Structure 1
Amino acid sequence: MYKISIALTFLLTSTTNVFASQPDVTEFLSVLPQYVDWAIEIDKQGQKTGKPLNEADLKLAKDVGVEHPEKVRIVYVEQVPYPYENRTLKQMGEKIGFIGEGITNNAQVFGYAIYVRKGYELDRPKMAHELVHVKQIEQASSLLEYSKKHLVDMAKYGYADAPYEAEAFKANEKYEVK
């Protein structure tokens, strides 16, 4: 199982944290547009600096259902970005369990940019998981609407059982090397 990794795009692949009790997300929804504005900028940066998918990953993206796999970029970083400088967003991330002590965010989708922590192996099942999040974002009316739904669902069902994550975890299983 994974620990929670925000992905707001989210999402995040590889970290597990289930809410002990359902947090009231009302306050988070009010600051979510700030997060999404930040995430859009991070995606733009990733589009400029990231590596395009190789042939095998392009095929995987198409198989997963990504409409524009040619736009996906992989960005290797020392630490997956988060708007720590914004006090409100930092508190939101800590309260929800996206960031904080003991939580390692290994990979996160920000639109078409997938940020991956250096040293983390983004193997085929994990890549499929992240590509499912790319597909989900493509299918949403906006990153903000995707993020709202995902945040509310994680609060309601917990990380692993939230519908977007459940779909992505199915991809982990489907593409697991046996």
Structure 2
Amino acid sequence: MLLSITFAATLGIVFFHQTLISSVLLPQYISWAEETDMQGRQIGKPLDTKHLAIAKEIGIQSPEKVRIVYVDEVPFPHDNFALKTLGEALGFVGEGIINNAQVFGYSIYVRHGFELTTPKLAHELVHVLQIERSSLQAMVTQHFSDLAEYGYNNSPLEVEAFKANEMYKDR
């Protein structure tokens, strides 16, 4: 009997947390990420000729829209306590965590001091492609779910992007 009650309570907590994340937190993060992309497209630098060719090779349909934005810190909605807590739980932010680059739609935010080599840019361009194939909303939703289930290195979206690191390592 105690085991059944514990199991039911655990299921209830898990369901509540999943519902809270998917119905409250994800829409807030997605809205913030869309705004961050719009800002990045206005202030970022377009890809040069060499990198436009790589973006086309990777399969991006609109590589001319891609922008690189150099910042002191890759943006995250730190002022939203719930999103900050979620970001810490998923390893996006927190003590000792330095985010070097992140894609928001067609905007690639890169931390000053991070060398965006061709393989690293190719990795980020794969994330642009992933968003282009579906949507920013779908990708964020999948990425958050994958991070919770697989961790960063084994997340299917990251595994696909890591292949680009290898493919472009000698360029």
Query: Which TM-score applies when normalising by structure 1?
Result: 0.83
Tell me what 1:90 maps to: 84
Query: For residues 23-172 of structure 1, what are the structure 2 equivalents within 5 Å?
Result: 26=18, 27-30=20-23, 31-140=25-134, 142-172=135-165
The letter of the residue matching 1:149 is Q
Deviations 1:66-119 (A, max 9, x none): 110000000000111100011110111011111000100000000000000011
The letter of the residue matching 1:62 is K
Percentage identity across paired residues of the two chains:
56
Cα deviation, residue 146, structure 1: 1.4
Q: Distance in 1 between matches of 2:143 and 2:74?
A: 19
Structure 2: gaps spanning 5 or more residues: 1-13
Structure 1: gaps spanning 5 or more residues: 1-23
The letter of the residue matching 1:130 is E
The letter of the residue matching 2:67 is R
Structure with max Cα Rg: 2
Structure with the bigger RCO (C-alpha within 8 Å, sep 6+) is 1
Paired residues in the alignment total 154
Cα deviation, residue 175, structure 1: 0.4
Query: As a proportion of its length, which structure holds more helix?
Result: 2
Query: Which TM-score applies when normalising by structure 2?
Result: 0.87
Q: Secondary structure at the match of 2:110?
A: strand
Q: Deviation above 2 Å: which 4+ runs of structure 1?
A: 27-30
